[in-house]
Structure 1
C-alpha cells in the first residue's frame, strides 16, 4: 500500500470514527466491514479455525459499539479494533472477562467539557434503549456477556439462564443481530438516562445491604420489592421472600458481609455484583463474589432474582438462598 493510500485510509477511518462516536450506527458498521479481515486474522492466529472465531468477531462488534467513545486516535481505529479482538480471544482461552488495557482507556477529564460527557452518555443511553427492545430471553445473555464483570463466560451465562451452552451461543448470535436492528430503529428516538438510573441503583443496593445488617431486610423487601418475588436457579423457582430472608440472615449470623462492586440498571433488568467478605476466622467460608440479577415488574420493583456465583453450585451449599 502506498503512503498516500495509507494516509487516505487513516483519514477516512477518522471521519467514520467521529461519526460513530456521535451516534451513527451506520458509520460503525462501515468501520467494522473495513477492518473485518484484519480482525478475523487476529482471531484465527490465536484461536485457530472454528466457531469461536465468529463469536469473537461478533463480541468485538458489540464491544466496539459500547466503547467507541474511548478511541483517542480516530485515525488508528483499526489497531483499536484488532486489540479488542486480541483481548477477547485471549480472554476466551483463559475463560476470563474480556477487557481493554488500562492505558488504552480514555479517562474523561474536565477538559472534555459538557459536550464530551453528553456524547458519551448519549451513546450509552441509546444502547440500553435498544436492549430494551429485545425479548427477555435475548436481552439477558447480552447484558451478562457485555455489561457484567464476572458472569461473562458461556458456561456461567448458561447456568444463569438455565439453558445449555449451545443455546447461549445461539441466543447471543440472535441477540446481536436484533440489537443492530434495534439500534437503527431507535437512533432518532428519545433515550432514557442510563447513568442516572445506575446511580440510583447503586444507592438502592447499598441501602439494601445496610437494611440487612440492621435487621430490616424483610421490611425492605416488603416496601420495595414485588409481593410475588421469586428466587430462581436458572429458570426454576426455588423459593420466595422467606427463603431470601433466611439466607441473608444466615449469612450475617455466620459473619459474611457483602460489598457492592459493580452495578448496571436498565428499565427491566438490574445487575448488582457484590464482593463476599468471609469472617476473619474462616476466610474460605464463601465464594469471593455474588451477582444479584433482578428482573423488574411494570412498577420497577424486583420480581425475579437470580443469585450467581463464580464457583460451581456444589461449592455453595452453605449459602441457603442457592
Structure 2
C-alpha cells in the first residue's frame, strides 16, 4: 500500500474513535484514513489476542486495512463500526494461523528458561520488552478469548475499561472482572511453566 493508505496512517490515539462513525453510502479516502488512524491501535491489540506467535502484527494490519478499504461501503449501520472492525481483525488473525499446528504453538511456549513471576504481576510485565515479555505475551495468547482480549487491550494498548467495554460490547464492571481474572490466570500459567520444564514432562511433538 502507498503512503496514503490506511495502514500507513498515524496511530497517535491509543483509544477509540471519539467522532461519529461513518454513515452508510460512499465514503471518501480522507474519511477512511481518519477511521483507520483513530482505531488502528486497538485493532492491533485484537490481532495480538488472536494471531499465532509467528504471524507479524504489522503484516496483519495491512491485511485488515485492505479489507476495510474494500468493504467499508458495505457497512450499513454506523453504530456497528467498531464490532465490524473487530470481526475483520479476528478473521485476519485466525486465517493467518490455519497452517500452524496447535501442538507446535504450545511447544514454543516453554522453550526459554525464565524465573517465576512474582505474585503481584501487573500490566508492566506484559508491555515491557525482552524475552520475559515475549514469554508472557505467548502465555496471554493461550487464555480463553473472553479474558485474553480485555487483558491485552488494557495492558498492551492502555485502554480504559469504558473503551474496552465499547469495543467488546461489555459492561465496565464485567471488563474489570475479566481483566483481574485474566491476570490471575496468567500468573498461574507462568508459575506452572518452569516446573514443567524442570521435570521434563513436556516432550517434542
TM-score calculated relative to the size of structure 1: 0.24
> Structure with the greater relative contact order (CA < 8 A, sep ≥ 6): 1 or 2?
2
Q: Which has the higher strand share?
A: 1
